[in-house]
Amino acid sequence: MPSSRMTAEQKIGPTTASNRLFPVWSFLCLSAALSWTVWLWPVSKQAYLFITFEGWRVRWPLGNIKLLVGNALPGLLALAWASAQGKEELHDLLLSLLAWRTKLRWYVLSIALPSAVFVASMCAVLIFFHGKPTRPTILVLLNSLVALPFGPLWEEIAWRALALRKLQGHYSRLLSALIIGVYWAVWHIPVWFLTLNYLTTTLLLVICVNLVSWSVIFAFLYDRSGQSLPVTILLHATYLTVQNYVTAVVLHGIIYIIPVAAALSVCLAVIVAKRWASDPA
């Protein structure tokens, strides 16, 4: 069932909502500017942050740290932005963040959907493209765990709890999800250029299409779960973890798994969009 909870944006008329979209575009532009500034800030590959605790000494590359900080900035900005908009806006955002009491099936789907897509993609590459499986190291899991508090949490606060809700007050649910998806993909481009050595123009377009598809899936689960941000945070976390693990397994066939996963993601997004369109707004 669609959410029965009315947000501050949904309580006002369409004309007023249109007039109030300018802050949303401003928020998205400022989020991109902040993240890109941090991501693209030149840092030596030999620069490390050293942490010593109880005889243990850990070193983290500053390049990795700035990627995590750039991921977190939009969410922090969203909290400040909602506070500046008024108590009701902040209340709606926090209400979404704390809305963990929803049906169990939405949590199950948030784990099952990305797992199914990426595991199926991995199997297809190993079978049809003669990919050679490798055994992922523990670092793959550790890097995923370190990234979870920065990407899934803070990105979902920014993109779903703030921007998506605002856009849905003026556009249809599907169009709002597509707008966020296109923005989300463009926002990620600097990270992909910094972290993917094999990136080409064609592959970049495929990755963007994949992320736009997942934006529709994210928005669908967010809407159907009663605007429960914990559901999309779990979905985001599962997506990252399974994606990192699968790409590590098919390291030698990674050039194949990206378009295969994108094709499956598009199919899933189409199914979701049709199901969504049949629901009352």
| Mean pLDDT score across all residues of the chain | 88
Q: Which are the contacts of 269, defined by CB distance < 8 A and separation ≥ 6?
A: 212, 213, 214, 216, 217
The three-state secondary structure class of 58 is strand
Q: pLDDT class for 9, splitting at 50, 70, 90?
A: very low
Quote the crossing angle between the two packed helices 138-147 and 62-85, to the nearest 10°: 20
Residue-wise pLDDT tens digits, 30-86: 999 999 999 999 987 777 666 666 667 666 678 888 999 999 999 999 999 999 988
DSSP, residue by residue, 198-220: T--HHHHHHHHHHHHHHHHHHHH
The vertex-23 CA angle with 226 and 173, nearest 5°, equals 35
The gap between the terminal CA atoms of the chain, to the nearest Å, is 10
In a domain, 267, yes or no: yes
pLDDT score at 69: 93
pLDDT over 50 at 4, yes or no: no
Please state the rounded mean pLDDT for residues 193-209. Answer: 92
Q: Does the residue 66 lie in any domain?
A: yes
Q: Does any domain span residue 6?
A: no
Q: What is the pLDDT of residue 2?
A: 46
Q: How many domains does the chain have?
A: 1
Indicate whether 4 belongs to any domain. Answer: no
pLDDT at 229 (0 to 100): 97
pTM over 0.85: yes
Dihedral of CA 80/157/187/76: which sign?
Answer: positive
Query: Domain of 43?
Result: 14-277
Please tell me the distance from the alpha carbon of residue 93 to that of residue 105, in angstroms, as a whole number.
23
- Does residue 205 lie within any of the structural domains? yes
Other Cβ atoms closer than 10 A to 56: 7
> Residues 243-278: pLDDT tens digits?
999 998 987 778 899 999 999 999 999 999 999 987
**Is the Cβ–Cβ distance between 245 and 255 less than 8 Å?**
no
